[in-house]
Amino acid sequence: MSGSPKYSQAQLERERRERLERERCQRAAEEARRRQEAEAREKQRRLEARRQQVQQQVETLKRELSQQQPHLYPEAAQILQQQLQEQQQTLAKATSEASLGEVSRQFDRLQTDLKRHLAQKRRDDEAKKRQAELERQQFALGELQRQLIEIPDGTKFAPQSEAELAEKLANIKQLLQSGDPARVRHPLQSAEQALEQYRQQVAECRAEWHRRQGEAQENLGSLQALIAGLQADPVVMRWQSAAVAQLAQQSQTAEQAISSEQFEAIAPLLSTCQQQSQSLIDAANAAQLQADQRDYIADSIAQSLESLGFGIIYRQPEHPDNPASAVILGAASHGGKGISVSIPTEGEVFYDVEGYSKQTTTAVGGGSAAVCDEAESVISEMHDRLQAEFGVEMGELQWQGKDPNRHLRQADSLPRTDSPRHRLHS
């Protein structure tokens, strides 16, 4: 047997391979459960945070409604109070971010209705105080200007309509200075209609904006929950930590997109991450199964060597920072003979022998071939035990320059040589 690498093919028998696969499936199910629990906790945390936000919105509206009640018609105040109570009941029953978002939008509408009712009563009260039409018109103009200012986010959601309405109001102010109420009536009425249209336009745009924002926030929450689940999975983090870190960067990208109001960018980002996450999980499980098989083979080889009289002197990964690294076993006998074995996650098992005799024989067909029958005999016996006791099927022992037609001789007939080490490849 030459000093070149020797090798053979390691393959688990079907029953033991299926057992490993079943064990991996069981572990994968438990890992999936932990991912789901992590996702559920993250969703629950977001739900409670959102509920607190909406509750603060409720308290603000209740406080403002209480303060402004003297300035409302009794009927309007009663309606607003009733609607507020109904929405509070809905809030108490809300169990999702989507339902909480709808309740929030309803409170926003109540806030708008409150301001509208307040404005209506202010206008009516002032009309009662003023008898002269010019005085009423002057008040109406001021009211329009006030309401225009009070409508939030008008510049953001309807800038052109806001500019047109401001121009109408400026024109009415000039007409009032003429002292002719007839010239003011139609422009004032047109401005009032324009204000209602503007308010409605802003309210619709704001509602749509909040809907898009809420949907984006929900998708962001799903993305963050997905990442939290992956980060809670030890197998995924062992084999795919870099890929999970890249997904976490996608979460930051989503947050930036929401900050810049690019709400529609979140859904496709979430979809892509969901597809990638499943691929990561599948790849991690496949890699873990290979590592489990490697470890089983390494355990089986170690026990087989011990049963042959060897002591295991070291067992370590070839590359400690790489979970897919081959496992290196070192074993020595009382007679000073040693065998080291490299067991990869896939591919051939390599042997390195030390202290065994080596000789050169004539190969069939001419030439010569290096042989080490004693080492080959020990490894072959170990292969038999691996098959019989552990279900590990090892292929024929191979090495570079091996004579395919030679027969294994008795180890005690080997002459000694000066070469102390031979590398076998199984």
Is residue 120, in this structure, part of any structural domain at all? no
Q: Which of 44-53, 124-133, 261-270, 285-294 has the lowest mean pLDDT?
A: 124-133
**pLDDT reading at 59 higher than 50:** yes
Residue 311, Ramachandran bin (φ over 0: left; ψ between -120 and 50: alpha; else beta): beta
Q: How confident is the model at residue 72 (pLDDT cuts 50, 70, 90)?
A: confident
- The arithmetic mean of pLDDT across residues 170-197, rounded, is 87
- pLDDT value for 405: 62
Q: How confident is the model at residue 286 (pLDDT cuts 50, 70, 90)?
A: very high
Quote the pTM value.
0.52
- State the angle between helix axes of 181-231 and 97-129 in degrees (0 to 180), rounded to the nearest 10: 160
Q: How confident is the model at residue 129 (pLDDT cuts 50, 70, 90)?
A: low
Burial class from Cβ neighbours inside 10 Å (0-12, 13-18, 19+) for residue 322 reads: exposed
Q: How many CB atoms lie within 10 A of CB 235?
A: 20
The residues pairing with 116 across neighbouring beta strands, listed in sequence order, are: none
Distance CA(203)–CA(223), nearest Å, equals: 30
- pLDDT value for 317: 93
Q: Copy the structure tokens of residue 329.
A: 């076993």
Distance CA(180)–CA(110), nearest Å, equals: 38
What digits encode the pLDDT tens for the residues 222-271?
999 999 999 999 999 999 999 999 999 988 999 999 899 899 999 999 99
- The arithmetic mean of pLDDT across residues 170-174, rounded, is 89
Is residue 199, in this structure, part of any structural domain at all? no
Residue of 23 and 213 predicted with greater confidence = 213
DSSP-based three-state secondary structure for 280: helix
Distance CA(3)–CA(372), nearest Å, equals: 9
Distance CA(178)–CA(187), nearest Å, equals: 14
Q: Copy the structure tokens of residue 203.
A: 């309210």
Its domain, for residue 334, covers 6-17+291-425
Distances (CA, A) of 172 to 78, 92, 140, 164, 211: 35, 48, 10, 13, 37
Length of the chain: 426
Is residue 85, in this structure, part of any structural domain at all? no
Task: Give me the percent of the chain exceeding a pLDDT of 90.
Answer: 31
Is residue 170, in this structure, part of any structural domain at all? no
Q: Which residues, at least 6 apart from 398, have a Cβ–Cβ distance to it below 8 Å?
A: 6, 7, 8, 425, 426
Is residue 381, in this structure, part of any structural domain at all? yes
**pLDDT reading at 1 higher than 60:** no
The residues pairing with 369 across neighbouring beta strands, listed in sequence order, are: 361
Is residue 338, in this structure, part of any structural domain at all? yes
Is residue 28, in this structure, part of any structural domain at all? no
- The arithmetic mean of pLDDT across residues 347-353, rounded, is 90
Q: Tell me which DSSP letter residue 131 carries.
A: -
If one counts the domains in the chain, the total is: 1
Q: How many CB atoms lie within 10 A of CB 386?
A: 20
Is residue 301, in this structure, part of any structural domain at all? yes
What digits encode the pLDDT tens for the residues 295-343?
999 999 999 999 999 999 999 999 999 999 999 999 999 888 899 999 9
The residues pairing with 361 across neighbouring beta strands, listed in sequence order, are: 369
Q: Tell me which DSSP letter residue 365 carries.
A: T
The overall average pLDDT reported for the chain is 81
